[in-house]
Structure 1
Amino acid sequence: MKRIHLLLILLLTVLLAAACGAEEKEEKSQESAPPVPISVDLQVPATAEVGQEVEVVAKVTQGEEVVTDASEVEFEIINDNSGEKTMVPAELKEDQYTAVITLEQPGSYSVTSHVTARDMHTMPTKVIEVTGDGGVAEAPNEEKHEHHHGAVIDFTDGTATAGENTPLSTTITLNETPLTEAAVRFEIWKDGSEKHDWVDTKEAGNGQYDGEYTFADRGKYFIQVHVEKDPDIHDHVTKEYNVE
């Protein structure tokens, strides 16, 4: 009888230890789980007319939750032809961040939403094509906008074949002089996908930076060239690649 009691006590001890261990493991797993990343649905019209007011919208979510407590949301507008850049602060309206912009020159513009929320930062980009005769822009409101000419990034739309290694090359100039010793990377993502790949480049001389990438699937992709040098230079431009 004593032996049976000892066996029962031992069995209970083992079961309790196993249960505690499983609970501790689950708690540690929950503690070490990474936070759900924020996601931004950037809404920009594909085309606009010169001088037309355009509303740009960024809807921020974290999982199924709509984020309305972002610490900073700004729209960066870059004229892909001249390199002129404008920063426009967003306003929260009906659970999404909006701003109204007016583009005074024809051409391609990259619109990037810089969103900082819950200790995370994301910056999706879309392109808007502006058509019209192009008048002289009115003087900007310096209290609200910041204009300056940054690096000019020579990179165009392209095509590629899925599964094949694709060379990528861009030439960077600043004040019509080749920009050397800069940090240049290609950010690549498929249309509709939240997965972004990054490609480092090697400087080939005379402001040229080269990299390569293999597109996994067919479809429309976006390639954003990021250029950084010193505290004052941080520019980028976005182009489309059609992959067959």
Structure 2
Amino acid sequence: MVYGVQLNQGVGFLNNHGVKSMRKTGFVSFIVMAIVLLAACGEADDHDDHGTGSELNFDPLEVEIIAPEEADPNEEVTIQALVTQGEEKVNDADEVVFEIWQQGEKEDSEFIEAQLTDEEDGVYEIRYTFTAENIYHVQPHVTARGMHMMPTGEIKVGDAPDVHEDEEEHGHEADGHSHDLPDDLRVDWQAAEEVDSGEEAELTVFVDWQEEPLTEARVIYEVWQHGDEAHEWLETEEVEPGIYTSQYTFDNGGDYHVVVHIENDELHEHVSQLIHVIQAE
């Protein structure tokens, strides 16, 4: 009988203690679940803030240079780059840097970091003073949303010769060499200089750096018809060490400009090539 009483008391103690423990465990579990739910909601909101909750933008990045065609020596001018992706103005570019150099003096380029304007309408700008009467090349290097663009424009300062007159005077060498290239860099154009319109053409260059094929570089072709403001950008594939190729169909007859942009950790150069396209009958 004594053992029975003690057992009953023990059972009662355990039941009371067990109920309390279960209540405490249930309360703690409720708190943990609430914290998890709040964290999940916060994470979802954070993803929505980065565009997961809205339609993703798959349009290519576009950069338009906004600058005067002519300027006077020792006159400060505003040079801008309008960065867009489809209809969207890009205000979150990782980097916008203007490279400026005089005709024939690429090795003496200046690099100036641009700032987003107060209007935050996708426009990044610098102020620059041209000191010499010459043709200046202006090239914004824009890195944004995993893409990189680097269009080139020209500004005539003072009594410098016209841009196209200067190009005709110096010409384009058939093998793609440029007077502005470093001595250790050689770029050989291996594509035809005359093609038919409407047919896919293979554009190929061989790039040699310090007497070795330049491998794993980023090589991009910038293509436009002479007199046309619309430029197209073509990614290339390295099919063999130092050999970069891409395919392009020239729609119309006439002269086309192809600028080969070459980039890696050491280099940021470009070479111009002229292609004549025969209009298909």
Report the TM-score when normalising by structure 1: 0.54
Write the letter of the residue equivalent to 2:88. E
1:72 to 2:95 alignment: yes
Using the aligned pairs only, state the percent identity.
27
Deviation at 1:192, TM superposition (A): 4.5
* Structure 2 counterpart of 1:197: 234
- 1:12-51, aligned counterparts within 5 Å? 35-37=57-59, 38-51=61-74
Distance 1:102 1:41 in 2: 21
Give a deviation string over 1:7-26, Cα, whole Å, max 9, x none: xxxxxxxxxxxxxxxxxxxx
Higher relative contact order (CA 8 A, sep 6+): 1
Distance 1:189 1:77 in 2: 21
Write the letter of the residue equivalent to 1:217. D
Distance 1:200 1:79 in 2: 31
* Structure 2 counterpart of 1:227: 262
Distance 1:179 1:105 in 2: 35
* Structure 1 counterpart of 2:166: none
Distance 1:106 1:202 in 2: 43
Tell me: CA distance 1:63–1:222, structure 2 relative to 1, closer, same or farther (3 Å): same
Match of 1:92 among 90, 105, 116: 116
Structure with larger Rg: 2
Contact 2:99 2:139 in 1 (8 A): yes
Give a deviation string over 1:80-109, Cα, whole Å, max 9, x none: 412232111112223211112233344444
Tell me: CA distance 1:77–1:215, structure 2 relative to 1, closer, same or farther (3 Å): farther
Distance 1:45 1:241 in 2: 28
Contact 1:75 1:111 in 2 (8 A): yes
* Structure 1 counterpart of 2:197: 162
Tell me: CA distance 1:193–1:43, structure 2 relative to 1, closer, same or farther (3 Å): same
Tell me: CA distance 1:49–1:243, structure 2 relative to 1, closer, same or farther (3 Å): farther
Tell me: CA distance 1:78–1:125, structure 2 relative to 1, closer, same or farther (3 Å): farther
Deviation at 1:58, TM superposition (A): 1.3
Give a deviation string over 1:204-243, Cα, whole Å, max 9, x none: xxxxx897976512367442222346x3222225567675
Write the letter of the residue equivalent to 1:114. H
Give a deviation string over 1:160-208, Cα, whole Å, max 9, x none: 76357588779989xxxx76533574513234446422456899xxxxx
Distance 2:154 2:113 in 1: 18
Matched length: 191
* Structure 2 counterpart of 1:181: 213
Distance 1:100 1:51 in 2: 12
Q: Secondary structure at the match of 1:99?
A: strand
1:216 to 2:245 alignment: no
Match of 1:127 among 153, 168, 189: 153
Tell me: CA distance 1:100–1:36, structure 2 relative to 1, closer, same or farther (3 Å): same
Q: Secondary structure at the match of 1:125?
A: coil
Deviation at 1:114, TM superposition (A): 1.9
Query: Which stretches in structure 1 are left out of the alignment for 5+ residues?
Result: 1-29, 135-148, 204-208
CA-based RMSD: 4.4
Give a deviation string over 1:31-66, Cα, whole Å, max 9, x none: 9x9632332222233344444433221112233222
* Structure 2 counterpart of 1:82: 105
